[in-house]
């Protein structure tokens, strides 16, 4: 591990000043430190300065708090990105859930308001790592953790993601790697909360020296083959930025969500595959859906949206075994497994079928 200095700012401005000062080499934010310390130990990150943001707090924009914000009080940047805004006209304002980026996974998992409104998120947080880790790990850090690909994590392999020329996993030990979008880098996105928050169409507010920015999580996370993507990164966060909070449109009547995960070992583990679904029923009362998002995790460099399965599910409210099988199959559209991860095809298909049946039964 390289030598570094440690600073403990009290305000966001101080943290951003620390990030951007050229003195003492590049700075790196440390939240819970669970991922960052691993990366430092393997020499994958070598910052000259660590900036501990755990003690930052600034009312009324508290970084540790979770709550609901009334429609007329949400920031304009969040409002503009709410659902319904794709045609350029302003979307209707609505209440939003707000989670400070420094809220811990334990806080998220146990929060009664989140559990009642967005169970996909609390279920994903509750299934991450161990109780001790969840007490320290933050939701912002969870979204920004680096992939678990063993070639990337080992200092002995200079893989393409670290600036080398070879993706060792492509023809190597790729059991836990991507089945979608795996041509450039086969590592999968490791974050469980990212899967749930993408299904819930979450928006990030990001602080930078130029002011606050707002972005949908689904556009913020980016694979190497997507516009603006690069093999060395999994998101669009720049070196002078900090995630401030996560905003989720509060679900209305008829909206439900759920998260399910399959692990190799049941005690604590990253997923072999996970899925989050959010669905909204039409107000007609006949079980027809008017909106659905099915997001698959541990299968691609970023959470993967199963659009073909969504389209099939929207066609009819009937869920007999044959329709479920077809929807599960549709979730695999575009999948190209590697030499050792073909088992993920039936696993993902079955997981999607099980999750849909459970959510809509
Ligand atoms: C045994 C084990 C099992 C695990 N299982 C799972 C699992 O199943 N699913 C899962 O999702 N995770 C799992 N994890 C990973 C763990 O949840 C993450 O490492 C943790 O959530 C990271 O959060 P942190 O606050 O410690 O982030 P840090 O380690 O402090 O930071 C991670 C990165 O985010 C940056 N950062 C942190 N906060 C901010 C911010 N607000 N703004 C800008 N940058 C920021 C840091 O600079 C760093 O680059 C597991 C970890 C272990 C050790």
Asked if omega into 164 is within 30° of 0 (cis), the reply is no
DSSP annotation string for 48-65: SEEEE-TT---TTS-SS-
- The ligand 1 atom at the shortest distance from the C-alpha of residue 34 is 26
In angstroms, rounded to a whole number, what is the distance separating the alpha carbons of residues 181 and 336? 8
8 Å CB contact between 298 and 272: yes
Nearest alpha-carbon partner for 355 in 219, 286, 261, 291: 261
Q: How far is the CA of 138 from the centre of ligand 1 (A)?
A: 7
pLDDT in tens, 215-248: 999 999 999 999 999 999 999 999 999 999 999 9
| Closest residue to atom 31 of ligand 1, CA basis | 141
pLDDT at 52: 97
8 Å CB contact between 187 and 149: yes
In angstroms, rounded to a whole number, what is the distance separating the alpha carbons of residues 46 and 190? 21
pLDDT at 59: 67
Q: How far is the CA of 39 from the centre of ligand 1 (A)?
A: 11
Residue 279: which residues within 8 A CB-CB, separation 6 or more? Answer: 255, 256, 257, 289, 291, 292, 293, 313, 359, 360
- The contacts found for 28-31 with CB under 8 angstroms, 24 or more apart, are 29/53, 29/242, 30/54, 31/101, 31/102, 31/137, 31/138, 31/140, 31/141
3-state secondary structure of 46: coil
Domains of the chain: 5-56 (3.30.43)
pLDDT in tens, 289-343: 999 999 999 999 999 999 999 999 999 988 999 999 999 999 999 999 999 999 9
pLDDT at 286: 77
pLDDT at 60: 58
| Closest residue to atom 11 of ligand 1, CA basis | 191
| Closest residue to atom 14 of ligand 1, CA basis | 129
Q: What stretch of H or E contains 215? A: strand 211-216
pLDDT at 25: 81
Pocket residues: Cβ below 6 A from ligand 1: 28-36, 101, 128-129, 133, 137-138, 140-142, 144-145, 190-192, 242-243, 268, 270
The string over 263-288, giving b where at least 16 C-beta atoms fall within 10 Å of a residue's C-beta and e elsewhere, is eeeeeeebbbbbbbbbbbbeeeeeee
pLDDT at 83: 86
Kindly give the confidence (pLDDT) of every residue in the chain, 361 residues in length, as a single tens digit, with 9 standing for 90 and above. 889 999 999 999 999 999 988 888 889 999 999 999 999 999 999 999 999 999 887 765 689 999 999 999 999 999 999 987 566 678 889 999 999 999 999 999 999 999 999 999 999 999 999 999 999 999 999 999 999 999 999 999 999 999 999 999 999 999 999 999 999 999 999 999 999 999 999 999 999 999 999 999 999 999 999 999 999 999 999 999 999 999 999 999 899 999 999 999 888 889 999 999 999 999 887 789 999 999 999 999 999 999 999 999 999 988 999 999 999 999 999 999 999 999 999 999 999 999 999 999 8
Q: How far is the CA of 348 from the centre of ligand 1 (A)?
A: 25
pLDDT at 88: 67
Which DSSP state fits 213? E
């Amino acid at each position: 591990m390289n030598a570094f200095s440690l600073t403990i700012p009290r305000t966001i401005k101080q943290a951003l000043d620390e990030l951007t000062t050229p003195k003492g080499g590049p700075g790196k934010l440390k939240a819970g430190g669970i991922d960052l310390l691993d990366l430092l130990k393997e020499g994958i990150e070598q910052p000259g300065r660590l900036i501990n943001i755990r003690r930052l707090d600034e009312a009324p924009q508290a970084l540790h708090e979770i709550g609901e914000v009334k429609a007329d009080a949400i920031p304009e940047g969040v409002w503009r990105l709410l659902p319904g805004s794709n045609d350029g006209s302003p979307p209707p304002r609505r209440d939003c859930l707000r989670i400070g980026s420094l809220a811990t996974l334990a806080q998220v998992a146990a929060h009664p308001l989140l559990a009642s409104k967005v169970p996909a998120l609390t279920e994903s947080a509750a299934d991450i790592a161990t109780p001790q880790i969840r007490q320290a790990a933050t939701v912002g850090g969870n979204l920004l953790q680096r992939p678990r690909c063993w070639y990337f994590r080992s200092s002995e392999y200079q893989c393409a993601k670290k600036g080398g020329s070879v993706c060792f996993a492509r023809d190597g030990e790729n059991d836990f790697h991507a089945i979608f979008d795996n041509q450039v880098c086969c590592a999968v996105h490791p974050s469980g909360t990212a899967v749930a928050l993408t299904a819930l169409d979450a928006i990030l507010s990001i602080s930078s020296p130029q002011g606050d920015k707002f972005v949908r999580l689904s556009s913020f996370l980016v694979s190497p083959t997507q516009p603006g993507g690069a093999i060395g990164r999994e998101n669009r966060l720049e070196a002078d930025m900090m995630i401030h909070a996560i905003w989720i449109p509060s679900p209305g009547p008829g909206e439900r969500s759920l998260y399910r995960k399959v692990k190799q070992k049941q005690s604590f583990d990253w997923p072999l595959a996970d899925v989050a679904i959010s669905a909204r029923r039409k107000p007609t009362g006949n079980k027809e859906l008017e909106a659905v998002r099915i997001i698959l995790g541990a299968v691609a460099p970023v959470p993967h949206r199963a659009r073909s399965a969504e389209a099939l599910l929207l066609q009819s409210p009937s869920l007999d075994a044959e329709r479920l099988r077809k929807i599960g199959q549709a979730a695999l559209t575009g999948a190209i497994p590697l030499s050792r991860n073909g088992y993920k095809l039936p696993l993902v298909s079955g997981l999607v079928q099980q999750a849909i049946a459970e959510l809509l039964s």
